[in-house]
């Protein structure tokens, strides 16, 4: 690596020496009229080199590989001469031919008659080159494990349970706590672990994750008559490659793997527009169509923790969208104009379901027959009744109706084996034999969410004195959400309403322009429903075995939500429906609505996008011309969102950003610019580690708790559900600082050389403080332990390690004019990135017991790039 860098940099003085020996170009101070009116053609060819390969550095620019690359671009154009009657014009541009980020565009037309155009571009997105996997068939949609694969274990801890940490020799050789005693692994256990590692670790191989996008576009524009225009375009886009896909299954407990998900997308878009325009009015009709197709219907893989099982995941389904729009505008009076817009869209998705019948035993239809219809209308009136007063009024309406049929589906969680038999009343309600479904099946309805937005905007701007104005604006927005066809209302909040007021001052003076604005918004919401989860689970409306009411009927009768009573253990055992639905005063029992997962919500848990909110925003900017050579610009923005009704979830979010730009031009050939920007994002949220009430009284006969809210196991377990020590909160703060400097120096060395230099330094950090804690049983609290042994500890939460990302990017460009039409370009770039992120620890060997390691590490690079090219203008 160092040798290559030395070669690249070592050539720089020699190249400069050669350049300096070339005679000065001819005088360019008096270009001819023809030169000023004729399009210049340029061609650039050359070569460059990259000192060190880096996937992250080349994430989008195509320079991920160490070594040389080609520099090639050209821009051609022509047509009738400026003083001829020929109105034809054409151009062709091709850039970055030597990299995977190449593009091309061109057009041909006759002014006032027509124009034909085309575009092409491609880009490769490099995602990971540090990804490793033991699977065979990487890049395809069927992944299997080699025949030599053995389920990883930590034999000293458990000789039967799958454990991905068993792939780490350091873990399997470590002492383990068994029955309250710290023990070293036996020779047999070490040998078993070594055999597993010898079989599995050689199976891991590196695989690059990247996607390539190619886009082709053609267009045509025709002027049919002086006021009538027809235009059309068609676009074809392909995207291929692989991207990381996290998967979770329950083959042997809950285990996860990050797999290379193959991508093979095709998207076709068509746009047609027909318009009439005049000085007083216009009207335009448009059609937009989009068809998406995925050539990979599913991803199937062998489960690493249980080789007898496979998992199938459907991929993004094909879909279509067709939209018709009409837009019209007219000047009613000299000072008043009206513009109206309307659109109708139809979106469909009817790809066949991809699933394993053993895992999804109840599928009433072969495809979703999904249909979404969107209708929108906008109207805006602008007027200036007085020379010093301008008014705007706008109305917006957008209704998105999801008309997808509602069906009931049955599935088992993530490769779980069927067990037991579903309750007879549930089977009867579904119209299937009870023997067809296990008691661990999930019975869910799909939810076709719809929404409607109604918005009114009004503002007025008053120029009360020359150079200064005040603007007062008001916005009202109502958002409705609903589902059609479900047995219960699916929305948490049916309607939210927001009123926003804004006051803005602007001043334009001889050397300074400025603006100050403040806006305040108040979003209110209807009653939040913790019962919306019922829409997912239709069996909540069926009376289960052992009850006299359905879960929904019982909650309606008692006024309870799915969370159940806000109470600890009952003083006397519950009986009847109470014992069926809320045993021990806990949350609604999963079995009574036929779902394996608790999806009822905490009381006071509000989703931030529909929760009541007060928002304050302030903004100020200034543009100061200190002298003719010095200019300063500054901008500050602050936003504060207060979700004042929220007990759990996001309850506060604040953002601050500031930018300062300075420009200094001591001469017409020399310019300096510098900037500094700062951004802060802070959010606060809260949650609850729900734990069910329990009648357990000890841990290994011991009862005392160290810390927490209760001194003994029996008191804590009796109040698990209402234990305030189970609450937690987070305070996240992200800071980003960026500073940059640019120098642009032209006409050096007898007007032969132009020099540019730029450096940008970035430092970003994220701190996440967590308050609260959790209980953990004492592993030494086992039979035979000394009297007084603590049964459990309350462990307070600690701040997470700071995430830090630092980068430096420095660039130097030199243009040497050999003659009027020839030049050499010399470029140099130095780029460095370092990233410290604790999250990557989980990707390493021994990082997590239930996650297959991939070896991915935080991005880091230290790269230099050198380029030399010849540019001809003709």
Q: Which residue, 511, 475, 460, is CA-closest to 626?
A: 511
Please report the DSSP string for 368-381 in residue order: --EEEEEEEEEEEE
Partnered with residue 48 across adjacent β-strands are: 69, 867
Q: Is the pLDDT of residue 497 over 70?
A: yes
In whole angstroms, what separates CA 47 from the centre of its chain? 36
Q: Are 302 and 314 in contact (CB under 8 A)?
A: no
Partnered with residue 9 across adjacent β-strands are: none
Confidence of residue 9 (pLDDT cuts 50, 70, 90): very low
pLDDT of residue 25: 52
Counting residues of the chain whose pLDDT is more than 70, the rounded percentage is: 95
More reliable by pLDDT, 34 or 195: 195
List pLDDT tens digits, range 778-837: 999 998 899 999 999 999 999 999 999 999 999 999 999 999 999 999 999 999 999 999
Q: Are 735 and 765 in contact (CB under 8 A)?
A: yes
Q: Are 245 and 261 in contact (CB under 8 A)?
A: yes
What is the three-class DSSP state of 741? strand
Q: Is the pLDDT of residue 34 over 50?
A: yes
More reliable by pLDDT, 20 or 786: 786
Q: What is the DSSP letter of 786?
A: P
More reliable by pLDDT, 8 or 68: 68
Q: Is the pLDDT of residue 19 over 70?
A: no
What is the C-alpha R_g of the chain?
Answer: 34
Domain ranges of the chain: 1-110+814-822+833-874, 141-202, 622-800
Q: What distance in Å separates the CA atoms of residue 426 and residue 396, rounded to the nearest whole number?
A: 46
Q: Are 247 and 261 in contact (CB under 8 A)?
A: no
More reliable by pLDDT, 598 or 870: 870
Give the least confident one: 80-84, 125-129, 861-865.
80-84
Residue with tokens 């033991």: 134
Instruction: Locate 781 and state its tokens.
Output: 């609290």
Please report the DSSP string for 370-410 in residue order: EEEEEEEEEEEEEEEEETTEEEEEEEEEEEEEE-PPP-EEE
List pLDDT tens digits, range 852-864: 999 999 999 999 9
pLDDT of residue 40: 85
Counting residues of the chain whose pLDDT is more than 90, the rounded percentage is: 89
Q: What distance in Å separates the CA atoms of residue 756 and residue 363, rounded to the nearest whole number?
A: 65
Q: What is the mean pLDDT of residues 17-43?
A: 59
Confidence of residue 13 (pLDDT cuts 50, 70, 90): very low
What is the three-class DSSP state of 672? strand
Partnered with residue 620 across adjacent β-strands are: 516, 636
Q: Are 325 and 283 in contact (CB under 8 A)?
A: no
Beta carbons within 8 Å of 508's beta carbon, 6+ residues apart: 467, 468
pLDDT of residue 1: 34
List pLDDT tens digits, range 602-611: 999 999 999 9
Instruction: Locate 495 and state its tokens.
Output: 């309607």
Backbone angles phi, psi at 110, to 5 degrees: -120, 120
Q: What is the mean pLDDT of residues 234-247?
A: 96
pLDDT of residue 870: 97
pLDDT of residue 543: 98
Confidence of residue 30 (pLDDT cuts 50, 70, 90): low
Cα of first residue to Cα of last residue in the chain, in angstroms, is 40
Q: Within a 10 A sphere around the Cβ of 686, how many other Cβ atoms?
A: 20
Please report the DSSP string for 444-473 in residue order: EE---EEEEEEEEEEEEEEEEETTEEEEEE
Taken in order 164, 169, 171, 172, the sign of the CA dihedral is: positive
Q: Which residue, 149, 150, 152, 148, is CA-closest to 164?
A: 152
Q: What distance in Å separates the CA atoms of residue 765 and residue 836, rounded to the nearest whole number?
A: 9
Give the least confident one: 78-92, 289-303, 313-327, 737-751.
78-92
Q: Are 727 and 687 in contact (CB under 8 A)?
A: yes
Instruction: Locate 190 and state its tokens.
Output: 């070490």
List pLDDT tens digits, range 157-184: 999 999 999 999 999 999 999 888 899 9
Instruction: Locate 127 and state its tokens.
Output: 């995602």
Q: Is the pLDDT of residue 558 over 80?
A: yes
For residue 216, give Cα distances in angstroms to 120, 322, 755. Answer: 5, 20, 36
Give the least confident one: 78-92, 520-534, 669-683.
78-92
pLDDT of residue 5: 34
Mean pLDDT of the chain: 93
Confidence of residue 469 (pLDDT cuts 50, 70, 90): very high
pLDDT of residue 18: 42
pLDDT of residue 35: 58
What is the three-class DSSP state of 222? strand
Q: What distance in Å separates the CA atoms of residue 505 and residue 620, rounded to the nearest whole number?
A: 10
pLDDT of residue 33: 58
Q: What is the mean pLDDT of residues 625-643?
A: 97
Beta carbons within 8 Å of 187's beta carbon, 6+ residues apart: none
Q: Backbone dihedral region of 98: left (phi > 0), alpha (psi from -120 to 50 degrees) or beta?
A: alpha
Backbone angles phi, psi at 661, to 5 degrees: -115, 140
Q: Is the pLDDT of residue 6 over 60?
A: no
Q: Are 736 and 762 in contact (CB under 8 A)?
A: yes
Q: What distance in Å separates the CA atoms of residue 52 and residue 3, rounded to the nearest whole number?
A: 10
List pLDDT tens digits, range 355-401: 888 889 999 999 999 999 999 999 999 999 999 999 999 999 999 99
Q: What is the mean pLDDT of residues 234-238?
A: 98
């Amino acid at each position: 690596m160092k040798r290559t860098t030395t070669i690249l940099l070592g050539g720089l003085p020699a190249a400069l020496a050669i350049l300096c020996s070339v005679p000065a170009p001819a005088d360019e101070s008096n270009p001819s009229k023809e030169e000023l009116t004729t399009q210049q053609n340029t061609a650039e060819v050359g070569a460059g080199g990259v000192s060190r390969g880096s996937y992250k550095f080349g994430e989008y620019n195509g320079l991920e590989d160490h070594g040389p690359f080609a520099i090639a671009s050209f821009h051609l154009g022509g047509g009738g001469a400026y003083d001829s009657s020929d109105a034809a014009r054409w151009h062709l541009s091709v850039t970055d031919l030597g990299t995977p980020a190449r593009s091309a565009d061109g057009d041909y037309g006759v002014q006032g008659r027509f124009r034909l155009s085309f575009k092409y571009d491609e880009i490769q997105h490099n995602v990971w080159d540090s990804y490793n996997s033991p699977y065979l068939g990487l890049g395809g949609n069927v992944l299997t494990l080699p025949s030599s694969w053995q389920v990883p274990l930590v034999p000293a801890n458990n000789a039967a349970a799958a454990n991905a940490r068993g792939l780490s020799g350091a873990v399997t050789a470590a002492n383990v706590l068994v029955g309250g005693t710290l023990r070293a692994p036996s020779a047999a256990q070490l040998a078993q672990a070594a055999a597993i590692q010898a079989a599995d670790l050689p199976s891991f191989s590196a695989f690059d994750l990247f996607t390539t996008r190619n886009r082709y576009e053609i267009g045509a524009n025709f002027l049919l008559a002086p006021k009538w225009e027809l235009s059309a375009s068609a676009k074809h886009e392909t995207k291929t490659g692989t991207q990381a896909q996290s998967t979770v299954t329950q083959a042997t407990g809950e285990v996860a793997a990050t797999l290379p998900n193959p991508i093979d997308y095709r998207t076709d878009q068509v746009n047609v527009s027909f318009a009439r325009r005049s000085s007083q009015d216009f009207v335009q009709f448009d059609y937009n169509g989009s068809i998406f197709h995925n050539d990979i219907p599913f991803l199937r893989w062998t489960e690493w923790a249980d080789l007898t099982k496979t998992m199938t995941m459907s991929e993004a389904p094909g879909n279509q969208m067709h939209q018709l729009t009409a837009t019209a505008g007219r000047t009613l009076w000299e000072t008043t104009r009206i513009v109206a817009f309307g659109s109708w869209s139809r979106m469909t998705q009817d790809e066949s379901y991809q699933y394993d019948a053993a895992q999804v035993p109840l599928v009433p239809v072969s495809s979703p027959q999904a249909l979404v219809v969107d209708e929108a209308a906008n109207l805006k009136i602008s007027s200036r009744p007085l020379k010093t007063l301008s008014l705007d009024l706008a109305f917006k309406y957008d209704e998105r109706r999801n008309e997808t049929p509602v069906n009931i589906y049955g599935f088992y969680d993530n490769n779980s084996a069927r067990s037991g038999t579903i309750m007879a009343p549930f089977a009867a309600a579904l119209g299937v034999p009870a023997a067809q479904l296990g008691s661990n099946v999930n019975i869910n309805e799909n939810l076709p969410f719809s929404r409607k937005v109604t918005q009114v905007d009004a503002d007025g701007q008053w120029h009360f004195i020359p150079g200064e104005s005040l603007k007062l604006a008001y916005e009202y927005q109502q958002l409705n959400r609903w589902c059609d066809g479900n047995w219960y209302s699916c929305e948490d909040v049916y309607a939210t309403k927001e009123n926003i007021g804004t006051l803005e001052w602007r001043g334009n003076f001889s050397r300074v322009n400025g603006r100050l604005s403040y806006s305040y918004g108040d979003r209110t919401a209807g009653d939040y429903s913790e019962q919306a989860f019922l829409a997912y689970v239709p069996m909540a409306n069926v009376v289960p075995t052992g009850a006299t009411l359905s879960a929904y009927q019982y909650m309606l009768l008692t006024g309870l939500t799915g969370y159940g009573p806000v109470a600890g253990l009952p003083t006397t055992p519950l009986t009847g429906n109470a014992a069926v639905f809320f045993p021990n005063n806990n949350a609604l029992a999963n079995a009574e609505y036929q779902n394996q997962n608790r999806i009822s919500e905490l009381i006071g848990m509000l989703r931030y996008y529909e929760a009541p909110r007060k928002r304050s925003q302030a903004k100020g900017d200034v543009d100061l011309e200190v002298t003719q050579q010095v200019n300063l610009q500054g901008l500050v923005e602050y936003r504060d969102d207060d979700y004042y009704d929220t007990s759990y979830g996001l309850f506060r979010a604040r953002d601050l950003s500031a930018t300062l730009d300075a420009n200094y031009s001591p001469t017409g050939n020399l310019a300096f610019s510098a900037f500094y920007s700062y951004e802060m994002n802070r959010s606060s949220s809260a949650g609850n580690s729900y734990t069910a009430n329990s009648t357990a009284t000890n841990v290994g006969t011991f009862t005392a708790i160290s810390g927490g809210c209760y001194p003994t196991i029996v008191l804590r377990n009796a109040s698990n559900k209402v234990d305030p020590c189970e609450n937690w909160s987070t305070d996240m703060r992200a800071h980003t600082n960026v500073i940059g400097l640019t120098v642009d120096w032209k006409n050096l060395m007898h007007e032969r050389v132009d020099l540019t230099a730029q450096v940008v330094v970035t430092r970003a950090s994220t701190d996440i403080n967590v308050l609260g804690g959790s209980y953990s049983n004492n592993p030494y609290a086992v039979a035979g332990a000394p009297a007084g042994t603590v049964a459990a500890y309350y462990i307070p939460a600690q701040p997470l390690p700071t995430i830090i990302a630092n980068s430096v990017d420095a660039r130097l460009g030199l243009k040497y004019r050999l003659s009027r039409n020839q030049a050499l370009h010399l470029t140099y770039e130095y780029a460095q990135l370092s990233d410290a992120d604790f999250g990557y620890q989980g990707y390493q060997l021994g990082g997590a017991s239930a996650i297959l390691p991939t070896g991915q590490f935080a991005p880091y690079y230290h790269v230099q790039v050198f380029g030399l090219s010849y540019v001809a203008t003709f």
